[in-house]
Amino acid sequence: MAQLLEQSKKVIEAQLNGTSMRAISGSMIAYEGNVQFKSAGFGGGEGVLAGMKRRATGEKLSLMECQGHGRVFFAVNGQDVTVVNLNNETLQVESQQLLAYAGNLRTDVRFAGVSGASSGQGLFTTTVTGQGQVALLSAGGPLIHLEVSPQYPLIVDPDAFVAAQGNVQSSFITSNMGWRDMVGAGSGEAFQIRWDGQGVVLIQPAER
| pLDDT tens by residue, 92-111 | 999 889 999 999 999 887 76
| pLDDT exceeds cutoff 80 at 158 | yes
Per-residue confidence (pLDDT) for residue 115, from 0 to 100: 47
| pLDDT exceeds cutoff 80 at 6 | yes
| pLDDT exceeds cutoff 90 at 184 | no
Return the higher-pLDDT residue of 79 and 48.
Answer: 79
Per-residue confidence (pLDDT) for residue 52, from 0 to 100: 47
pTM, two decimals, is 0.84
The alpha-carbon radius of gyration of the chain (Å, integer) is: 17
- Written as one letter, the residue type at 6 is E
Least confident of 11-20, 34-43, 127-136: 34-43
| pLDDT exceeds cutoff 60 at 68 | yes
Cα separation, 63 vs 105, in Å, equals 14
| Residues 162 and 200 sit within 8 Å (Cβ to Cβ) | no
Cα separation, 193 vs 179, in Å, equals 13
Q: What is the mean pLDDT of the chain?
A: 84
| pLDDT exceeds cutoff 50 at 117 | no
Per-residue confidence (pLDDT) for residue 159, from 0 to 100: 87
